[in-house]
Amino acid sequence: MNIYLLRHGQTEENKKGSYYGNMDISLNEIGISQGIKARAFFNDIKLDRVYVSNKRRTLEMAKLVLGQQDIVVIQDGRINEINFGDFEGKTYDEIVKLYPKESICWHDNWKEFEPPNGESYIKLCERVKKFMEDIKKLENENILICAHSGVIRAIYCFIMNENIDLFWKFGCKNGDISIIKYEYGNLYIDAIIHN
């Protein structure tokens, strides 16, 4: 099985450098061009299934990639980006200024820390694990998962024996494509392509 991971294209919040996951933001012009560019990669690949998060930026990206292909796009909340709660839409500097105590806790224990009204990276990884366990049960040849940087990093951690400590060891830019292979019960990262 080939599992293609695609990070959605750029949004204005990405451009601003803010933390956001739960906010439902559309692609900007650069993001749209990244989607069109990604379409060329998938031109000769017959996709059997396409998964997106519940956020419009992933659905917009998937539709740009699919073009006129008639394929059902499945929305799954388990691959939503991490919810940053009250930190949503703020830059790191703004968060440090507005939430000094919470920022220290976040820095000291980034895996377990939950922003006010948000969720932890551990919770993100737990829901992504459940999603990936279901993906492994499928009998398809080519699957596209259009998601977010946090989700893609969580998938990498899942592949690497569920080691969350590796979360920040990978880059993941807007429009990046990763190829994951699932063969003989083994998941592995075959390629990471900067689009």
pLDDT of residue 38: 95
pTM value is: 0.94
Cβ burial of 128 (10 Å; 0-12, 13-18, 19+) is buried
Write out pLDDT tens, residues 87-125.
999 999 999 999 999 999 999 999 999 999 999 999 999
Domain boundaries, the chain: 2-82+120-193
Fold observed for domain 2-82+120-193: Rossmann fold (3.40.50)
**Strand order across the 2-7 sheet:** 73-75, 49-52, 142-147, 2-7, 177-183, 186-193
In this structure, are residues 4 and 143 in contact, taking their beta carbons and an 8 Å threshold? yes
Write out pLDDT tens, residues 120-151.
999 999 999 999 999 999 999 999 999 999 99
pLDDT of residue 119: 97
pLDDT of residue 159: 97
Write out pLDDT tens, residues 40-57.
999 989 999 999 999 999
Q: Any bridge partners for residue 146, and if so which?
A: 6, 52
Write out pLDDT tens, residues 155-178.
999 999 999 999 999 999 999 999
pLDDT of residue 187: 95
CA-CA-CA-CA dihedral for 188, 152, 154, 136, to nearest 10: -50
SS3 104: helix
In this structure, are residues 170 and 151 in contact, taking their beta carbons and an 8 Å threshold? no
Q: Any bridge partners for residue 49, and if so which?
A: 143
pLDDT of residue 126: 98
Cβ burial of 100 (10 Å; 0-12, 13-18, 19+) is exposed
Write out pLDDT tens, residues 58-69.
999 999 999 878
